[in-house]
Amino acid sequence: MKTKIKTGTPSFSDIPTKYGDLIGLFPLRPLKDDIDANNVTEIVDAMAGHDLNEDQEDYLDVLSTLLAEFEDKKYPVKLSRSGPLANLKHLLDEHEMSASDLGRLLGNRALGSKILRGERELSLANIRVLMKHFAVTSSLFI
């Protein structure tokens, strides 16, 4: 029987720095159920927003992909035919958020307006923040 790896999100200091040790934390394999997804979400939450080494970046990248695939299958979302910017604008409208709110969420108030005007692209770090905040998969922003 599967159990959660920990109660609550682990702290970043608990996250291993070597790839082999990261695999020991949670082996990279398809997610089968909500327990797997919750375990991966806790690890992703602990790693997001920190300066990661190459092994940690690779591990986080694969975990994020596995989580997105699981969520796409379990909770399919109809994507806009207009693309990532239209999807972002739709999410902001749904959550009654302004360009300034977006910028604050991303850590730079002016960045929200630039992204919404098409002057700046979403970075991988921005996408991770948006995924977590809106509880959506990265496919909405790619």
Can you tell me the distance from the alpha carbon of 15 to that of 56, in angstroms, rounded to the nearest whole number? 9
Residues 15-62 pLDDT 10s: 999 999 999 988 999 999 999 988 888 888 888 778 889 999 999 888
Confidence of residue 8 (pLDDT cuts 50, 70, 90): low
The Cβ-side half-sphere exposure at 66, using a 13 Å CA radius, reads 23
| Secondary structure of residue 46 in the 3-state scheme | helix
* CA–CA distance, 86 with 50 (Å, rounded to integer): 28
Q: Specify the CATH number of the domain 84-141.
A: 1.10.260.40
pLDDT at 6: 46
| Confidence check: pLDDT of 102 > 90 | yes
d(C-alpha 78, C-alpha 34), whole Å: 21
Q: Which of 45-49, 77-81, 119-123, 130-134 bottoms out in mean pLDDT, i.e. has the lowest?
A: 77-81
Which of 16, 9, 40 lies closest to 137, judged by CA?
A: 40
What residue spans of 75-123 are helical by DSSP H?
84-94, 99-106, 109-116
Residue 10 confidence (pLDDT) above 80 = no
Structural domain spans, the chain: 12-74, 84-141
